Structures are given as structure tokens and as C-alpha cells.
A and B are shown apart, each in its own frame.
Chain A
Amino acid sequence: MEVNEQIAIDHGLKSDEYKKICQLLKRTPNITELGIFSAMWNEHCSYKSSRLHLKKLPTKGKKVIQGPGENAGVIDIEDGDAIVFKIESHNHPSFIEPYQGAATGVGGIMRDVFTMGARPIANLNSIHFGSPQHKKTKNLLRGVVHGIGGYGNCMGVPTIAGQTSFDSSYNGNILVNAMTLGLVKKNKIFYSKATGLNKPVIYVGSKTGRDGIHGASMASASFDEKIEEKKPTVQVGDPFTEKLLLEACLELMAGDSIIAIQDMGAAGLTSSSIEMASKGNLGIEINLNKVPCRETKMTPYEIMLSESQERMLIVLENGKEEIAKKIFDKWNLDFAVIGKTTNSKNIELFFNQEKVAKIPVNILVENSPMYDRKWKKSKLPKKNKIKNEVLNKLKIKDVLMKILSNQNICSKEWIWQQYDHTVMGDTIQKPGGDSGVVRVHGTNKAVAASVDSSAVYCWAHPLTGGKQVVAESWRNLISVGAKPIAITNCLNFGSPEKEDNMGEFVECVQGIGEASKYLNFPVVSGNVSFYNQTKEVGIKPTPSIGGVGLIKDYKKMISMDLKEVDNLVLIIGKTEGHIDQSLFARTILDEKNGPPPEVNLFNEKNNGESILNLIDKGYVKSAHDISLGGLLVAISKMCIKGNKGIKINKSKKLINEIEYFFAEDQGRYLIEVNKEDLKEVTKILNKNSVHHEELGIITQNDMIINEKTKVTIDELKSYYTNWLSKYMS
């Protein structure tokens, strides 16, 4: 097939990008080469619209062993141990085929982690669906949950936390972000940089089929009504093979045979081989006839662009082929020497004794396009004036009932009960808490992880929203007693070619950067997903932040369930009554405008560190951060989980009662302390200038507010627990 500009455009390349290819090659590419360019230069693989801005994120820190640029980020958790982690999107495939899309998203991120030598120890996910009333939502939710469970459960890796939201902006573009944490010894981390000449290049894992061809290109395009036709671009997952691949790779990694290793993820053999060569400043030569294929008569083009799952590419030390082969044979996996490293600095492909492609590696990587897209700055919206008369008409109990049973607040147990969250025998905080926590096997340490996003805030004011998500992640780790270490981000946005959407991206990234820098909470890995739009309508900007922290003594872990009657609950942080963009404003007042709550990074840091200090001294019996839904929702969850009541007495002089209970001011927590410790706790908080006040005293049953409103624990439970299972039945 003769390549021309139209064919290039059909491959998702722009006209000027095609011209640049011809110029760099000094000739017209053949179809295989064009395929390779289209795979490497699409948005998903090249980050061409985002690179310029991502560079500004803080990625370094004392605890950072590896920042962005590898398969995943790596942080130091002391004693020679390290945690490898990353979050990644699988949005487009999951909308087209929810089960396989979500399943392979989970499979892909786990591969990213064990490619680096780490055994996966925890999975998390952040999933976002359209309005519950939308005709597709129920099936998409069911499919995605089954897919995540189907893959993770079979792998035997616990799914310990997650986030689910519903918003009509996802009606045509759901989001599925999967995150994995792995444990590795610091001196046994594997990288993707190939070194040395004439080293054997090994293919292991599943055979290559025609599935997923052009998956990465599909993920870089917008949706229209013909989207169903793209089903063949969705990969098919085989978690059993991945489990074997995991065990086989870890077995091989225990020795010293591997120089470099890279999983075949997006753009399959193309991106994995090119990345390894590029990082090592080498060439690579592959004989495509040696690639194990599942189907007959596959062309070089198809072999290079297939996104068949559960495959790895390894550069071995010379003479280690037999050792490696024996291990992969034991695990019944394909093993083939398919090529070698060269000093040509080209990627050269052979098929039936003919050279079918030859491209300088640096053209594909360093010369890949980078755009400084036009973007629109957003203004902070004006505050709404909410009249006291409106608020005073509302009954607290009615409002609480509506908010607790709101789809974005209510219990997600229907979802996480379908995920194995206890396999590996180290899960000490299950889903439903502020963070999931797993012990570092065989030690007294534990690792906490949480995943968060606040699309509504980001939509209202991207800069504030970006900061807020990082702050929330930080709070969720603090609330379980973990010292926050680093984050990974999954940036889900609309089209970068539209100034509004690009502006949301730029300013969210700026917000994330500011907060992570201030909190010393660097970004060590991540991924960008653009073009989350259907027929010109983009999703609400949705950066998902995955935070990881360390608990040095797992016995000091904190959970949110109220522990003991007669203990006091304190509010940490100041309640100013910010109602705009709160769940209350949206659901009760039907008010969708206004600014999100302000994020004061000084207070975030100060409040969080002070709480960690109190936890370390043993004063905190339970804790929970105050976020979506506000104060009363936060304490309700603590009552429900602890099966205890509370007597709340709000002092009269302050802001309106409704604002007090449902505002979403940031930087706040609830902590439970023993009466006898109150003096000492107050002293510490005062010394650190942390705003605090008493919310109430824990009782055997019932929530009683200002002696006039009574809600029983059973009522709270029924509001909170029933919505999702009813919706899905």
C-alpha cells in the first residue's frame, strides 16, 4: 500500500505532522512505518499537548527514588523497602466495552508496577459515571465493577480503596482510572533503559493477536455516534496469564539476568522496543517472524501495533537465555528471542528476510511533536448571596437525609464487596475508610493509599480545584495516621484543541503543582487522558490524585469509627460556612454557580501535621476528614461505622446552622479524644495555632443536634447504605 497524506490523516496524524515525518525520514514512510509513527505520536503516547505543562510539576524529594519517566514512580519507605506506584486511565475502552476496558486497565497498571520488580500489594480505582438516570449508566457501572473485580481478584491483589462519582458530564465518556502499589527492595528495582550491544531482546507472555490494534490512537480521539464500531480496538484481558507472567518475571528478577524490562502496554511492541532503545541511546533490531502470534498471516503492521495484553519485552545479559527460558517454560508462557540491541540507533524490523522498517529512534521520540496549545484563563466566579430566610426554612434532618443518600455520598459497599480486598492477608483498613491500608508484609510498617478527585471544584475554578484534590489526598492519608509521601496523578480532560478545556488542564496542573510543592508531596508518576468528550462536549475536568503515605507502626493506624461513649469529638480547622459548589448547594438549593471553597495551604499543612503529632502521642481515637457534604455528613459516617451516637451543641453566636453543618470549607478534620486528654490536646493545638472547637460528646445511640433534632443510628444507616444497591437491583 502506497502511503499518502490521507492515509496518515486516517491514522490520526495531522497534515503537518505527516509532512514532518517525510521531512525527517527524507522519504515517504511505508505503511508499517506510518503505523509506528501514528502510535508514537498520538496524544496518549507522546503527551504532545501536555508535556510543556507537566514539566512544571514538582517531582523530586528526599523520599523519591524514581520520578516520572519510568513505568511507575518509586518512593523510599525505609529499611531498604520501596513502594512502586502509578495511576492510569482506561476511559475510552471502558466506555466502548466496560468489562474488558476496565479489566485491561487494571491489568495494564499492575504490569507497569511489576515490570519494575515490585510485587503488587494493593489496587485502587477512581471511576466516574454519567447521571444515574442516563440509560447507559447502570450497565456501564456493572460492567466496569465486574471488570475491575474480574482482573484484580484473579491476580490475588487486594483492591483496598477507591472513589465513585456520578455526573451528567460523563454520560458519554465514563472515566476508569486504575492505580496499583507494589513492594520492592530498593536495590532490586528494574528499569527500562537498555544498555550494551548485541544483547538478546526477549519476548515473553501471551501470544500476539489482532486485538487492540490502534488502541492508543482510539484513546486519543473524541467519540461520536459511530463509537460502537471501535469495539475491535479494545483489548481482551487474561488475568490468569498475567498472574503467571507476574510470578515468572519475579522469579527471573531474583537473579541477575535482566538488563532492562518494559511491559507492552499502549502501542504494544512499538512503544516498548522504542522506549528501551531510546533510553539507552541504542538501536534495536527485531525479526518479526520470531514474534509468537496467535493468528495466522499477521502482517508486520499488525504485529507492531497489536495491543494484546500480558506481554513483556526484556533485554537479557548474553548467555542467560536458557535460564530465562526455563522459568517461562515452567510457567507455561511463550518465550522467544526476537532481536538484539545494536549501535545503529535505528529501529530496524525484518519480516520474511526483508527489511520492512527502518526509523532512527530519536526521530520517533525526541522529534515527536510538542504543542504549546492556546488556553483560556478562568476567572474566579462571584460568590452567591444565599438568604438566611431560604436556609431557615430548611429542616436539618431533611437535608441530612437527602445528602447522605445522594449518589455521590452514599456507601459504595455494593461495589467494593465485589472486589477481593483481603487477599494477601495484610489489609488492615478496608474500603470505606479515608484511605486503604496494607501492612508491609512481615514488618511493623503499613502503607496507606487513597484516590481522590473533585471535578465540580475543578470545573468551577481549575486552579483552586487542582490544589484542593491534592489537599484532600493529603488529608485522607493523615486521617488514618499515615505520613504523606508522594502522589501519582491521572489527568482526565476534554480536548486540548479547545481553549476552554486546555485552560482547565493548564490551571488544574498549576494548582496540583502549587499544592504538592507546598505540602512536600511530589508527583512521581501519572498519565494524561485528553479527548474525553462526545460531540464537542467535554467532561468536567477531573484530575484524579492517588496519594501514598507511610505508617511506621501499623498498630497506630486510625480509623473513622467512633470508639467510646463519653469521648469528645473536636473539629480541627475553621468552619467559615462556604456553601458555593457544595453538595448542599447543588442538591438542595439547585445552585450550580459560585466559587469552590478556598484552599489555604498553610492551614492544610499545619492542621495535618498537628494531627499526625497527636496521633503519634496516642491522643486520637478516631479521625475523619471533612470533605464532600460537610461537617454533619462526616460525623454521620463516624457514627454509622462506630455504631455510636453523638450529642452536638453548636454555639449560637456563629454562622447560620445550615451553613455550619453543610459548608465545605477545606482543611478540616474531626477527631475523637478522651476527656482526660483534652487539656493536653488543646495545649498542643494552641501551641501550633490550629483552630479547633468542640463538636460534641459521644453517646450510646442517636445523633442529637442542639437538643431539638434527633436522628437514630438506624435512620442514618438506612439513608447512607441503601441507595446504590437499590439502584443496581
Chain B
Amino acid sequence: MKSSVITFPGSNCDRDMDVALKKFGFNNKMVWHDDNELPKSDLVVLPGGFSYGDYLRCGSMASKSKIMQSVINFAKSGGLVMGICNGFQILVETGLVPGVLLRNKYLEFICKNVFVKLDNKENSYFKNLNKDIFEFHIAHNEGNYFCTKDQLKEIEDNNQIAIYYCNKEGKIEDQYNPNGSIKNIAGIFNKEKNVLGMMPHPERMIDQSLSGEDGSIFFKNLINNIK
């Protein structure tokens, strides 16, 4: 299975994603933001970091970089595109997924483990997973998902909510919401479910010695789903 990770100036989780994808069997290539063409890929990942310093709205500069036109075309033709953290911010800036990501409610960067609950397994990312609650890791300053009422209705009608922040038992309540996201949303799909944006970093949870191993479960399942 072939994957591509895009490196923007300021990306800093590109290597971590490369390590994770390779560990679970992907033949991964790093792709420079200034390239025109995507290599042939079964999965494209927009990694975390601070593309262009995030000095403008997070992800907005990166969403206009050269390679993104190919990524957008790839997504529109049904290719799998996953944006993690800053990658999610880039995805909302391209309009591939709806909504925006605001600054965290308490105005502080948060780095910690959280629990998330999957809402919908009818997609290439979560299909065949045998559990619904995952422990993932977040590290962000702007992860407060927001959208209009109309958008929210559409998102819900189309089952586009990918994951919710919750507690260990899967309870989705305000107290388990780390950043103020509307409806505890931690990740979201496009309508067709081939594009996934999420704040948590599964690539930081691929080894018992790290924050945990739920990332391994996610990646192992992902490559099997693509095969």
C-alpha cells in the first residue's frame, strides 16, 4: 500500500507519521509542498505542525500551497486523505471538510491523552474496528471545532462526525471536552467519508512505551481496509 505524507514549511509531525505508516506496512513517500504532482498513493496524509508558522489563520497558507491542488483533486476523485491536527486545520481551510477550528476555549495549548468515541464505521478508516472507544493523544492550540447550525444539521444528517471526545466509558459530556468543540467533535469526514480530519495524533500511540497503543490498532486496521 502506498502512502504520501506532505511536508509543508513548519510541519513537525511529518517524520512521526512516516515512522507510523512504515511500521504498519505502508510504503510511504515524503512529498514537498512545492511539488506539482502527488506520487501514486492509496492514502495521503497532511501531518501536524505549524505550517507557515500558523501566523495567519492556522492552515490557511498551507491550503494554498502548490501540492494542495493535486491533493484536492485526489480527494475529489475519491482518494483517501487524512489530516491530523494542523492537517485537519489545513483540510477545513481547503473546504474539503466543513467547519472551522478556533482557539481552544481556555486559550491554552493542551498536550495530553484523551478518549474518543467513533460514531460511524461505514468508512475506510474505521470499518472492521472491534471497539468504539480509543485513547488518543492531543497536542494543539486551535482545536475548538465550530460550524453553523445549518452546517451542523447537514453534518449530522450525513453522519459526518468521525469521533467525539468522551470519557473512558464513552460518555460524551462537556467535562470531557478539552477544547470547547461544538458537540465534543474531535474529527470529521467529508460527505463521501474518504476525507478525514481529526485533532488527535494516532501516530504518537504506536508503542507500549509511548502514550499507549491505540494508534497501532487504528493503523493496522487502516492498512487492512485499504488492501
CB within 8 Å of B: which residues of A? 146, 149-150, 153-156, 238-241, 243-244, 331-332, 416-428, 439, 554-555, 557
Contacts A239-B53, A425-B203, A439-B209; A153 near B9 (Cβ below 8 A): no
Q: Decide yes or no: A422 and B204 within 8 Å by CB, A156-B12, A428-B210, A555-B209 being known contacts.
A: yes
- Chain B neighbourhood of A426, CB < 8 A: 210
A238 contacts B9, CB within 8 Å? no
Contact A156 B13 (CB under 8 A): yes
Task: Collect the chain A residues with CB atoms within 8 Å of residue B55's CB.
Answer: 240
- Central interface residue in B55, B111, B139, B204, by most chain A CB within 10 Å: B111
Given the contacts A153-B139, A555-B209, A243 and B109 also touching, CB distance less than 8 Å: no
A418 B210 Cβ-Cβ under 8 A: no
Task: Verify A154–B111 contact, CB threshold 8 A.
Answer: no
Given contact pairs A153-B139, A154-B12, A426-B210, enumerate 7 new A-B contacts (beta carbons under 8 Å). Answer: A156-B49, A156-B50, A331-B9, A418-B111, A420-B111, A424-B16, A425-B206
The chain A residue sitting closest to B113, CB to CB, is A422
Q: List, in ascending order, chain A residues with CB within 8 A of B201's CB.
A: 422
Bound: A421/B203 CA distance, A: 14
User: Is there an interface contact between B49 and A554, defined as CB atoms closer than 8 Å?
Assistant: no
Q: Are B109 and A424 in contact (CB under 8 A)?
A: no
Within 8 A of A (CB), among B130-164: 137, 139, 141
State the B residues within 8 Å of A (CB): 9-10, 12-13, 15-16, 19-20, 48-50, 52-55, 108-112, 137, 139, 141, 201, 203-204, 206-207, 209-211
For A425, give its contact among B16, B49, B50, B110 (CB under 8 Å).
B16
**Interchain CB contact under 8 A, A239 and B50:** yes
Instruction: Say how far A553's CB is from chain B's closest CB, in angstroms.
Output: 11
The answer to whether B12 and A423 touch across the interface, beta carbons within 8 angstroms, is yes
Nearest CB in chain B: distance from A124 CB, A: 15
Q: Roughly how many angstroms separate A185 CA and B189 CA in the complex, as a whole number?
A: 43
* Min CB–CB distance B202 → chain A (angstroms): 11
Q: Which chain A positions have C-beta within 8 A of B109?
A: 149-150, 153, 418-420
15 contacts between A and B (CB under 8 A): A153-B109, A154-B12, A156-B50, A240-B54, A244-B9, A417-B111, A419-B111, A421-B111, A422-B201, A423-B12, A423-B48, A425-B203, A425-B206, A427-B210, A554-B209
Closest A residue, CB atoms, query B15: A424
Identify the 3 closest CB pairs spanning chains A and B, nearest first. A156-B12, A240-B53, A425-B16
A155 CA / B12 CA spacing, docked (Å): 7
B9 in contact with A240 (CB, 8 Å): yes
Which of the residues B19, B52, B112 comes within 8 Å of A417, measured between beta carbons? B112
Q: Which residues of B contact A416 (CB under 8 A)?
A: 111
A-B contact count (CB 8 A): 83
Q: How far is the CB of B15 from chain A (nearest CB, A)?
A: 7
Q: Which residues of B sit under 8 angstroms from A149, Cβ to Cβ?
A: 109
Distance to closest chain A CB from B8 (angstroms): 11
Tell me which of B19, B50, B209 contacts A243 (CB under 8 A). Answer: B50
| Contact residues in B for A153 (Cβ distance below 8 Å) | 50, 109, 139, 141
A244-B10, A418-B110 given as contacts; is B50 within 8 A of A428 (CB)? no
Chain A residues with Cβ below 8 Å from B139 are 153, 420, 422-423
Could you tell me the distance between the alpha carbons of A243 and B211 in the complex, rounded to whole angstroms?
25
Whether A238 lies near B49 (C-beta < 8 A) is no
Residues of A within 8 A of B206 (CB): 425
The complex places the Cα of A419 from the Cα of B141 at a distance, in Å, of: 10
Asked if A423 and B13 make an inter-chain contact with CB atoms under 8 angstroms apart, the answer reads yes
**CB proximity of B207 to chain A, nearest CB, Å:** 8
Give Cα A428 to B108, complex, Å: 24
Q: Which residue of B lies closest to A413 (CB)?
A: B112
A331 to B32, CA, bound (A): 11
* Cα distance A416–B54 in the bound complex, in angstroms: 22
Q: Which residues of A contact B108 (CB under 8 A)?
A: 146, 417-418
CA A154 to CA B86, docked complex, whole Å: 11
**A269 to chain B: closest CB distance in Å?**
24
Residues on A with C-beta less than 8 A from B141 are 153
A422 touches B111 (CB 8 A): yes
Determine whether the beta carbon of A240 is less than 8 Å from that of B210. Answer: no
A423/B52 contact (C-beta < 8 A), A154-B10, A240-B9, A428-B209 known = no
A243 and B55 CA atoms in complex are apart in Å by 14
- Report whether B53 and A154 are in contact in the complex, using a CB–CB cutoff of 8 Å: yes
**What is the minimal beta-carbon distance from B104 to any residue of chain A, in angstroms?**
10
Minimum CB–CB distance from B33 to chain A (whole Å) comes to: 11
The residues of B that contact A241 with a CB separation of less than 8 Å are: 53
Give chain A residues whose Cβ lies under 8 Å from the Cβ of B112. Answer: 417
A238 B53 Cβ-Cβ under 8 A: yes
A496 shortest CB reach to chain B, Å: 38
CA distance A213 to B169 in the complex (A): 56
Task: Give the chain A neighbours of B19 by CB distance below 8 A.
Answer: 425
